[in-house]
Structure 1
Amino acid sequence: MIDATHDQKLTSWVANANGHADFPIQNLPLGLFSPANEAPRPGTAVGDYIIEWQALVAAGLRQDNGLTMEDVLATPALRQSLRAQLSKLLSDPQYREISEPYLHTAADCRLHLPIRIGDYTDFYAGIHHAVTVGKLFRPDNPLLPNYKHVPIGYHGRASSIRPTGAPVIRPKGQTRAPDAEAPSFGPSKRLDFELELGIWIGAGNDLGAPIPIENAAQHIAGFCLLNDWSARDFQAWEYQPLGPFLAKNFMTTISPWIITPEALAPFRLAQASRPEGDPKPLPYLWGEADQAGGALKLRLDVLIETAEMRAQNLPPHALSHSEARHMYWTAAQLVTHHASNGCNLQTGDLLGTGTISGPAPDSAGSLLELSEGGKKPVTLPSNETRAFLEDGDALILRARAEADGFVSIGFGDCRGLILPAP
């Protein structure tokens, strides 16, 4: 999958794309945007700009002017040809004059969800998070016996997924204090984030037709950052016996650009070997090619910006950093398991990986872990402390892919600002 579009010598006539932290010409993500007072349309981020796909038609590089996001996500060959054409359009100066009317300053545009999300499933593939949180909830039995045999997941709420920048309204719900006989209802006091990757489904499968592990990667159209906001006080009260509900479904924030498998081809890794004594996955979850290159070389960062920090003109503070390689299950294994019972995935479905924490204390993917359940609040440069998120806090997720011999690419920010409960 590595071709001329990944050449580190390739440059763009969009000057600030060259050396851009997230969107150099080697990235070419897919998204839906709207310029001021205009209708949404598909486009690609390049530097600090967005180019409409319609520019390809104007330049004579494509004949069809009705290219939809659903078509592109569902068809790997179409997605690959679109990438090659965009790379040519944005690198060859002969196309500059005819393309510039279709080039928009990103800061002046509104970003939307890239496609209507039919279904959303959240997994639990970060084993370090699972163990640490398990100790808080079940000190004597932190990791349940099924975890190392089967990818754990639950069905979330697609209707409350929003793109970066959408406000996060503090939820209200039921909790019960440890010393109380009965629960009470009110705003969450233990609002948290979860650092995750989102997996976009491309081609779906028919009802009753599982997806073999050998084919699972062909059903993945791309990745994004995902923040699964969590009300930990609601969660502790409601999660038994059926798992997450109102603690999770009030809001999920994603980065709006789909980073394609083609863009990430240079940043593939072998899946980490399981510790000695861990069971080998059952045959339907085991693929040699997937084990050889099913992981991603991605650095993941979490930053916080409080209202007080903004007042003091302080930059966002790095809370933690992790890496995508800490996932216990690969993205392909999640897709295969999801469809193993015949469940029909559809184009535009979104899967969350679950919180991706690392083994070190500063690599935790949630405040629940960073503050040890609220017992050890984190001190910020503004001399504030945080055990959980407060109103006015902004939480920012970032990802960066780096590999020797290739231009680094990013995902763009996944940002949400906490507003008070109504």
Structure 2
Amino acid sequence: MFQSATGPLSGLRVIDMTRVIAGPLCGQILGDLGADVVKIERPGEGDDSRRVAPPWFREPTAEVPGDSTYFLAVNRNKRSLAVDFAKPEGQELIRRLATQSDILIENYRTGTLARYGLGYDDLRAINPRLIYCSVTGFGQTGPYSGRSGYDFLVQGMGGLMAVTGIEDGEPGAGPMRIGVPLADTFAGMNAAIAVMAALEARHKTGEGQHIDISLFESAIASLLNTASAWLNAEINLGRSGNDHPSAAPYGVFAASDGYIIVATFNDREFERLANVLKHPEWLEDDRFRCNSDRVRNRVALKEAVSAVISQKTRAEWVDILNKATVSAGPINEMSDLEKDEHAIARDMFVTMESSRGTVRTVASPYRLSSTPPDYRLPPPAIGQHTDEILEQLGYTIDQREALRATGVL
């Protein structure tokens, strides 16, 4: 059964016509913040990410399609409506839903939904207040607009891999993919931000609008200091492995039993580091006097710091360095994070019960004092809420059965 939301977006309805990661993440963010998110899925198949496995949450059988752990990451707080909108009756169902909705998010290739009468202009004609958010690889216009875009591809094309990986001349040199779908994640978050900005604009004008979000632009926008270095100084920062291109010592160091990160970003922090490592003479060394000196002499400095760090365990150093107000921490696996005292204290893991078993997900990072996110619904089975949603739209039992008989549902 549908549960009432308490978040700041409660009372809003979202049609989520997205698959895989970027679009579904946007939908989950809106759902966590209280919106009623209706996820549109293909009957019998569902979101493509349900089959991006292993690992499986529930392995497929001859009778029941499986669900991957990938799918679980971005699909809580949604109700699943299984409908074939390639059929006219399915298109009409979506249009009826759109008349009673505030937001639609979609991530089909540019122009796809318009071919089914479900484009922005089509739906705006029946609901001028609708906020319609399109998430694509390369945007709605431009020479690449017709291309599909996946995270790995966009990490490369958007500049992220040019600054990720080991620098040339070192063992293992070459560009490297970031290990999580970061371009997807940025695009999903940007989509949610833009939707909420459009909601505020609608409060003033009474009108919805079309939002155009791309993975490509989201990746480029995330380059920050890398982009600014080139645009304003024509300096290509390049790949620097685990070292920071503009600060030192700032990287990974081997303790006696594993690795820690030590991050000093200014002269004050370096002074604290030199003193706590019992090497105050570094402060008088011409190679290390200021940050730009340390960056030029990063290899010698890293060797000096590494020789000290290797003498104690990572737990000892994390304690010693943080007590000295030097930023330091371990490199955690998920098994470490699950037991991390700070993550536990901050309630970073959510357990939800579903018809298919217990689902565990990472909590929303949005902490609002009066209207915090809530966790109402576990990731749904394909079409789990079809009858519930159609009943709310006014479809009778006979009408629903007729749609099933023709394969619309």
TM-score bucket of the superposed structures, by smaller chain:
under 0.3
Q: Structure 1 or 2: larger helix share?
A: 2
Rg bigger for which structure?
A: 2
Q: Structure 1 or 2: larger strand share?
A: 1
TM-score by length of 2: 0.24
Which structure ranks higher in relative contact order (CA pairs < 8 Å, sequence separation ≥ 6)?
A: 1
